[in-house]
Structure 1
Amino acid sequence: MTMTATDPRPALAEGLARLFRDGDPSILAPEAAWDMMAPVDHVAGRDAIMADVVAPLRAALTGLHRRDLIVIGGPNRRDTGGEWLVCVSHYVGTHDGALWGVAPSGKLAFLRAGEFHRLSDDGRHIVESRIILDLPDLMRQAGRDPWDGHGLGTEIAFPAPATQDGLCPPRAGGTASLDVVERMLGALHVYDPETKGSAGQTGEGGTWADDMLWYGPCGIGSNFRWDGFVKDHRDAFLTAFPDRKGGNHYCRIGDGDYAAVSGWPSMTMTMRAPYLGVLAQDAKLTLRVMDIYRVADARIAENWVLLDYVDLFRQMGRDILR
């Protein structure tokens, strides 16, 4: 399937919208398999996806519908290959029913989502997916703090890109956008243990824009500029997990001014210090990661980040959806 011959992105996005809004499974291949955030984890087969994912969402969120912020796609640069569709979305509705351990609020909810979907050879169906729904943030919206006051940055709903062009953007430049992101990822592996800085990130020749915006999951929150990123995320994370190693991505794509990478899991690390209210355990941990980037003038201007913290904290012995 060649995604540049005819643009399948709008039809695929509409197929996903119908899946959740109308319960129409036609976008799913019969053999589709979804790997999701905890506690759902792995769901195999179209019927199981409808029963174990779509039905619970439709039951919990009255009037369920998607509000996509970013829809991009393209060929996978990693050896795993395939054509992929990547979305940053919110699932929107009135939170009238419990959802995977999150008690209802009876109020409007915006459940943020990151999705990587591998497409069939004809580009019409989804055959494999990785999906993270930010259940801790749904819990926060329902009036319960998953972190007992230990959260870091500013908790906001994910915004659309500042350029307002995230839905099926013009396709030129995707290779260059992904090149910038890969250069940044390579430099992140080495950092100063005192300042938590990494060479090549900011300043002349850096990969991050001076006015970068980083939008993170519940617990980390969002932050502004490199110093805000370090203060509200990087410092605490590297203090708790100083030996963390990232990468291990199954998918990396570039599309226009956007790029996306994901690993399942991406990070391996050891917990050496307290983090978000949990004491250090010297535990070996893994972390499922999704990053979606907007690149402008050869620098990263915005970064939307989904992390499966329900699974991470499950490995620490804590059920944060209690």
Structure 2
Amino acid sequence: MHTDKSVIGEKSVDNSESAADAIARAKRLIRHYYAALDKADGPQLADAMVRFCAEDLVWRGFHPFNELTGPRAVADQFWTPLKSALRHMQRRMDLFFAGRNEIDGFQSVWVASMGHLMGLFDRPWLGIPPTRRIAMLRYAAFHKIEGDRIVETAMFFDIPHLMVQAGLHPFPPQTAAHLVQPGPMTHDGLLFDEQPPDEGRRTLAAIDFMLNDVATWKNPDEIALVDELRRSWNEDMIWWGPEGIGATYTLERYAEQHSGPFRAAFRDRRFNGHLCRMAEGRFGGFFGWPNLTLTPTGGFMGMPGSDRPGDMRVIDMYRRDGDKLSENWIFIDLLHFWKQQGLDVLDRMQSLSGR
């Protein structure tokens, strides 16, 4: 019988630990970490992070936070100001899964989650004025676990979406819909328990097929975009895009409202790779730092065209149905991308809001 070790303050010394046990242990660690972090305020935030994270933690977040090192820096620069602004914060998770990372040959164990951080927006954050109303910050996170510590985190969050909730409009009207985005239609995205390994392999295969197929960006004279997408996606697919692009439903509308315009907007597209790509059950995802480098020569998001390349840091989360993908939640660091194009959205929003 497997003996459950403490996930706090004790290194695993069981070299015979099975893959399932390692994943279960990592999930327990992250659930304990979230519980401590969500309960903490002020100085307790740094204590909670130190308890669970390595001293040299690498934390990757959206602009203006970018890459931070060490748990205290993350607590001081990100969590303390955010929790001071979004008071009585709740973590409302929609996805929680874990697995081994395909990118390093399935050696490392990662835990991912996605949902909203909800609170009362009572104080300014990043110059965004408070509303004194409920606000919801979309987030997705990947955590790399070694022993009993989190050694890397990628936590991406939709700051422009929070701006819109505060009555600011950082971008021109988007082609798809602005929504507070729900979790999976099936309401089964919290994989706290062990999942059948074959299901995770099928999900990862579906994600890999889509990536390799889309990577070709086939000549439209050879195959119509909808027909290409149909190879990877179910007809009733939903693409939950970030603020500034929006959400779109059904394969045909996805082609019309995002995929087609996105492909037309860019040239010199370079895929930089992922740092983690994994799946468990019928859910999976990946992130890169950055995933893509693109030149928006055709204009993008209502902005004029440019000959200046820009990086896109992206987290994608997926739900598989059958052998194809049905839902996709996307987090893109658009503030970083547009800053590379010469537009500092945060500075402009602070000027417009008079702060």
Report the TM-score when normalising by structure 1. 0.92
Corresponding residue for 1:65?
Answer: 90
Are residue 237 (structure 1) and residue 253 (structure 2) matched? no
For 2:267 and 2:218, the matched residues in 1 are separated by: 10
Are residue 20 (structure 1) and residue 47 (structure 2) matched? no
For 1:247 and 1:157, the matched residues in 2 are separated by: 30
Q: Which amino acid aligns with 2:21?
A: A
Match of 2:312 among 287, 293, 313: 287
Q: Which amino acid aligns with 1:75?
A: R
Corresponding residue for 2:81?
Answer: 56
Please state whether the residue corresponding to 1:93 is helix, strand or coil: strand
Corresponding residue for 1:191?
Answer: 218
CA-CA distance at 1:196 after TM superposition: 6.9
CA-CA distance at 1:200 after TM superposition: 4.3
Corresponding residue for 1:36?
Answer: 61
Corresponding residue for 1:109?
Answer: 135
- Is contact 2:60-2:67 (8 Å) kept? yes
Please state whether the residue corresponding to 2:253 is helix, strand or coil: helix
Alignment CA distance shift 1:78-1:300 (3 Å): same
Corresponding residue for 1:83?
Answer: 109
For 2:138 and 2:94, the matched residues in 1 are separated by: 10
Corresponding residue for 2:169?
Answer: 145
CA-CA distance at 1:199 after TM superposition: 5.4
1:212-231 pair list within 5 angstroms: 212-231=237-256
CA deviations over 1:17-73 (Å, ceiling 9, x no partner): 421332332222222120110011111111111111110111110111211110111
Corresponding residue for 1:300?
Answer: 325
Q: Which amino acid aligns with 2:36?
A: R
For 1:15 and 1:226, the matched residues in 2 are separated by: 38
1:143-222 pair list within 5 angstroms: 143-148=167-172, 150-168=173-191, 170-172=194-196, 173-189=199-215, 190-193=217-220, 197=225, 200-202=228-230, 206-222=231-247
1:111-130 pair list within 5 angstroms: 111-120=137-146, 122=147, 124-130=148-154
CA-atom RMSD in angstroms: 1.9
- Is contact 1:191-1:198 (8 Å) kept? no
Q: Structure 1 stretch 4-13 or stretch 306-315: which is displaced more?
A: 4-13
Please state whether the residue corresponding to 1:52 is helix, strand or coil: helix
Please state whether the residue corresponding to 1:54 is helix, strand or coil: helix
For 2:270 and 2:295, the matched residues in 1 are separated by: 10
Structure whose alpha-carbon radius of gyration is higher = 2
Corresponding residue for 2:4?
Answer: none
Q: Which amino acid aligns with 1:46?
A: P
CA-CA distance at 1:193 after TM superposition: 4.9
Where in structure 1 are there 5+ consecutive unaligned residues?
Answer: none
Alignment CA distance shift 1:188-1:199 (3 Å): farther
- Is contact 2:115-2:183 (8 Å) kept? no
Are residue 135 (structure 1) and residue 149 (structure 2) matched? no
Corresponding residue for 2:20?
Answer: 4
- Is contact 1:196-1:235 (8 Å) kept? no
Q: Which amino acid aligns with 1:264?
A: W
CA-CA distance at 1:13 after TM superposition: 2.6
CA deviations over 1:254-285 (Å, ceiling 9, x no partner): 10111111111001111212222321111111
Please state whether the residue corresponding to 1:273 is helix, strand or coil: coil
For 1:88 and 1:138, the matched residues in 2 are separated by: 16
Alignment CA distance shift 1:286-1:159 (3 Å): same
CA-CA distance at 1:10 after TM superposition: 4.6
CA deviations over 1:263-312 (Å, ceiling 9, x no partner): 11001111212222321111111110111111111110111111111111
- Is contact 1:178-1:254 (8 Å) kept? yes
- Larger proportion of helix: 2
1:301-320 pair list within 5 angstroms: 301-320=326-345
- Is contact 2:272-2:293 (8 Å) kept? no
Between the aligned residues of both structures, percent identity stands at 28
Q: Which amino acid aligns with 1:253?
A: M
For 1:305 and 1:232, the matched residues in 2 are separated by: 15
For 1:191 and 1:285, the matched residues in 2 are separated by: 23
- Is contact 2:136-2:162 (8 Å) kept? yes
- Is contact 1:252-1:262 (8 Å) kept? yes
- Is contact 2:115-2:140 (8 Å) kept? yes
Q: Which amino acid aligns with 1:18?
A: A
CA deviations over 1:171-200 (Å, ceiling 9, x no partner): 221111100110011110223457871754
Alignment CA distance shift 1:182-1:292 (3 Å): same
Q: Which amino acid aligns with 2:218?
A: Y
For 1:142 and 1:73, the matched residues in 2 are separated by: 34
CA-CA distance at 1:2 after TM superposition: 4.7
For 1:108 and 1:219, the matched residues in 2 are separated by: 21
